[in-house]
Amino acid sequence: MVIGIINIQCFRFILLKNVCQLVINFITSRLLSVLLTIVLFSSCDSINDGPINLNNYTELNSQSEGAGMFSFTYDLISESYLNVYSHIPTNSSPSTPIVFVFHGNNRNAYDYRNSLVEKADLYGFILIVPEFTNSQFPGGDGYNLGNVFIDGDNPSLSTLNPEPEWTFSVIEPLFTYTKQQLNNQTAKYHIIGHSAGAQFAHRFLFFKPEAKVDKIVASAAGWYTTLELDINFPYGLNSSPLENMDYTQLFSNHLTVLIGSNDNDPNSSSLRHNSIVDLQGLNRLERASNFYTNAQSIAVNQELNFEWNYVINPNADHNYLIAVSKAADLIFNQ
């Protein structure tokens, strides 16, 4: 009899233990579910519902407004496309200016777009930031040097790519597409390029002299293609399609060379050094100054009109946030 009572008590204890474990498991799973939901929604908030509403649109059309991203097919044959981050200010019209922004070596078009949203709203311009990913436009050859040559550091006629394959050749069609989708009627666009994007921007001006560009700000390029006929591309014009460049047309462009006063570290990350490029200077500040001064000297010697500007941003280093903000001010306040 005593043994039977003990067995019953043991059974009740085991049953109660199992029930408690089930309750604990249920509560734990519910808590984990709730926590996971909170984390997911918090993550979404940080991406979509912050100061910048990042996913207002995924297609560019006349109804697009605010920040978004769309895909642009730049090669119909291969169906190659690039992602373009953009921002359309409220109450944009057919006459709203368009500004292209070229990102740096980190290929972070998303960040560059976000950094200029407030300026786009302030000045009322359409912001277009194409993303040149490393997989699609590999290395400096594919981006900084515009894919003009298979190997831009060792140019030759046999390795010269057809012009439609140049990365530079993407920009004008993208401008046309943007205008068509937004019913925009502006005749020209502005350009801001920082660091690797500044390399791309000034070379774009060289290789695409007929481009519909108004103002260009090339900010803090690591190095330049200089206007030296006795130096081979990419450091000079020799052995490239630029040998017969029209300086009259080149200097008539509204190019501003922008550099931070503190962007003078010769050991800065990713800053190229060799016996040829170091002739331009040992840091970005020296190289920017020499690039501008040499171009100005050519214009003076040939008695050509010179529309370029040189601007030192006081107390600024290589920070892209400070640089692109200043560049927007220069475009709309000059």
DSSP letter string over 199-242?
A: HHHHHHHHH-TTS-EEEEEEE--SS---S-TTSBTTTSSBTSTT
Residues 242-257 have a mean pLDDT of 97
pLDDT tens readout for residues 117-174: 999 999 999 999 999 999 999 999 999 999 999 999 999 989 999 999 999 999 999 9
Give the number of domains in the chain: 2
Residues 195-199 have a mean pLDDT of 98
- Residue 315 token pair: 């107390």
Q: Does the residue 255 lie in any domain?
A: yes
Q: Does the residue 241 lie in any domain?
A: yes
Q: Is the pLDDT of residue 48 over 50?
A: no
pLDDT of residue 76: 75
Q: Do residues 264 and 285 lie in contact, with contact meaning Cβ atoms separated by under 8 Å?
A: yes
pLDDT band of residue 54 (cuts 50, 70, 90) is low
170, 306: one domain: yes
Q: Does the residue 167 lie in any domain?
A: yes
Q: Do residues 215 and 254 lie in contact, with contact meaning Cβ atoms separated by under 8 Å?
A: yes
pLDDT of residue 38: 33
Q: Does the residue 93 lie in any domain?
A: yes
215, 264: one domain: yes
Q: Does the residue 56 lie in any domain?
A: no
Q: Is the pLDDT of residue 40 over 70?
A: no
Residues 203-232 have a mean pLDDT of 98
pLDDT of residue 21: 53
Q: Is the pLDDT of residue 33 over 50?
A: no
Residues 63-92 have a mean pLDDT of 92
136, 191: one domain: yes
Instruction: Tell me which residue range forms the domain holding 17.
Output: 1-50
pLDDT tens readout for residues 56-73: 889 999 989 999 999 999
pLDDT band of residue 79 (cuts 50, 70, 90) is confident
102, 214: one domain: yes
Give Cα separations from 255 to 41, 86, 116, 229 (angstroms).
45, 23, 20, 21
Residues 303-316 have a mean pLDDT of 98
